Each structure stands twice: as structure tokens, then as C-alpha cells.
Amino acid sequence: MYTVGRAAELTGVPSGTLRKWEQRYGVVVPQRSSGNYRLYDDEAVRRLSVMRSLVDAGWSAQEAARHVATDVAAAEAVLPRPAEPPFEERHHTLVQCAQDFDVPGLERLLSDGFADADLVSVIDDWLLPSMVHLGRAWQRGEVTVAGEHFVTASVHRRLAQAFQSIPSAPAGGPRVVVGLARGSRHEVGILSFALVLRSRGVAVTYLGGDLPLEAWVSAVRLVAPAAVVLAAPTLEDLPAVREVVEAVRPMAAVLLGGAHQAEVDGAERLGHLAGAAAASLATRLGAVS
């Protein structure tokens, strides 16, 4: 639960505006503490974040509030996204596997894809653009939820296998902590980044998804990395990401990827090519590939 001041910090909405949205439009209904102070839960913070983004995109506060109150997920879906990568026929292959639940085809496709020695090209030119097109196909109703999960789980397993197959970096080299904030579970992009970084000789401590703030702080304090890398894949990730950035940046440089990286202050933005960004970071850190 967050106070009105803390909710304002996490959403980027001034406390006075937050109260006005609450009272005038009913976009959230805060709970009350024993001392009658407003308290906001994660869902309220998410709603306020979505409304702020809609207003920033040019919507009137009244129209934004109506959309958020009706269906916050649908409201989030209309927000501007990074440009969809150009379509190539090879990007459609994952979609076909999702539509047909083609286990042998998917396994063959991933095996062939990861046979390329240039991991940056595998990630940036084929895998992640294909995952974007898979997500768009799901949004259009061309792929079921089960089909999308089937492919995503297989891709995650293949990335994890490739990550584990790379020998650990020599002791004494740069270390980087990589993961996602509390509530965030879209790991394919951040794990792809970690894979390329490890392949370039960087000692990567990969924490996975949905890591609470306290765990982030303790891990960074213990590891003392040269950098911390996380991502904001969805709008609802923003409040938790902002908390992590604020908490760990006194201890290490913080770099941020994901579709909504531009909406978080205090972190260096990585851009939208995970493989190239990882290779660039390895070069900056002086790692040996």
C-alpha cells in the first residue's frame, strides 16, 4: 500500500492532480488508514499510470478516465508502442507453430535459429521481431492464449539452455545483475539480453522475473556489480521499475530496456535492440568475448 505522496512519485502524477482525478472522475478509490490517510494498492497505481500515459498521449482527462474505469487493459492497449519491426516471412514461422501447436516444427525452428554463431543477429533480426509479430497475432485473435504461451515457454527454455551452455566469465571481470521488477514476468527480452552479455565475457547474475524490491536491493548490495539491467516491458511494470531504479542507482549504474523505458527517469535507456545493446555494454565494460 502506498501513501498519496508515494503513489505520486511512482506514477509521475502530482499529488494534487491525483486527488482531482480521484474525486472528479473516480478513476481509483483509495483505501483509508487508521488515521484516515489515503492508501493506494498496486492496481490503483497501475490505473493512475495508464491514465497518465493516455493524457500524455493527448487524451482529455475525462476520456482517459472513462477508458481506464471501463477496462484498464484495453486502455493500455491503445497507447503508442515502439514501431513494429518490418515483417519478413521467417518472422511468421513462430506464429504458424503457435497456431498449429507444432512441437517438432518449433523445436526444429529454434534449433536451426540458434545454430547461427552471431547471437546478436539471432536475437535482433529474428527472435525478438518474431515474438513481436506473435504478440500482434494474438491481439488480432489469430493465435490463442494457449498457442502464444506454448511458443513463449519453448523460447524461454531455449534461451535458458543457451545461457547455461556458455562457460562462466573469468573471475575478476565485470559483473552485471539482470532481471525484472516485482510483478513483471515477460522474460524473453531481458533473458535474450543476458544471453548476449554472457556470450561476450561478462559475468551475468540473472535474477529472473517478478523480483521484490527488497530482494533487488540485497542482491545488488551483495554482488556489487558494475551495472544493473532491468526492463519495463509493459505499462503496468512502471511503478515497480521506478522503485528499483530509485533504490539501486546509488549502488550501481542502472540501464533500462523494454517498450516503456522512456517513461522511467534515473536510468540509462538501452533502446529496442537487446542484442546490440548487450554487445555495446560488454564493450564498455571491457569484457573479453
Q: Do residues 200 and 282 lie in contact, with contact meaning Cβ atoms separated by under 8 Å?
A: yes
Question: What's residue 84's pLDDT?
Answer: 54
Closest among 113, 24, 94 to 65, alpha carbons compared = 24
pLDDT 10s digits, 257-269: 998 898 888 999 9
pLDDT 10s digits, 168-193: 888 888 899 999 999 888 999 999 99
Percent of the chain at pLDDT > 70 equals 92
Percent of the chain at pLDDT > 90 equals 50
Q: Domains of the chain by range and CATH?
A: 4-77 (1.10.1660.10), 89-165 (1.10.1240.10), 175-285 (3.40.50.280)
Question: What's residue 88's pLDDT?
Answer: 67
pLDDT 10s digits, 25-76: 888 878 888 787 888 888 888 788 888 878 877 788 888 888 887 776 666 6
Question: What's residue 154's pLDDT?
Answer: 96
With cell 548490495, the residue in question is 221
Question: What's residue 2's pLDDT?
Answer: 82
Question: What's residue 69's pLDDT?
Answer: 78
Grid cell listed for 277: 545493446
Grid cell listed for 175: 559483473
DSSP of the chain? -B-HHHHHHHHT--HHHHHHIIIII-S---EE-TT--EEB-HHHHHHHHHHHHHHHTT--HHHHHHHHHH-HHHHHHTS--SPPPPP-GGGHHHHHHHHHT-HHHHHHHHHHHTTSS-HHHIIIIIIHHHHHHHHHHHHTTSS-HHHHHHHHHHHHHHHHHHHHHSPPPPTTS-EEEE--BTT----HHHHHHHHHHHHTT-EEEE--SSB-HHHHHHHHHHH--SEEEEE--SGGGHHHHHHHHHHHTTTSEEEEESTTGGG-SSSEE--S-HHHHHHHHHHHHT---
Higher pLDDT, 150 or 20: 150
Higher pLDDT, 212 or 23: 212
Question: What's residue 72's pLDDT?
Answer: 67
Query: Rounded mean pLDDT of the chain?
Result: 87
pTM listed for this prediction: 0.77
91-116 mean pLDDT: 91
Poorest-confidence range of 75-89, 92-106, 238-252?
Answer: 75-89
pLDDT 10s digits, 128-159: 999 988 988 887 889 999 999 999 999 999 99
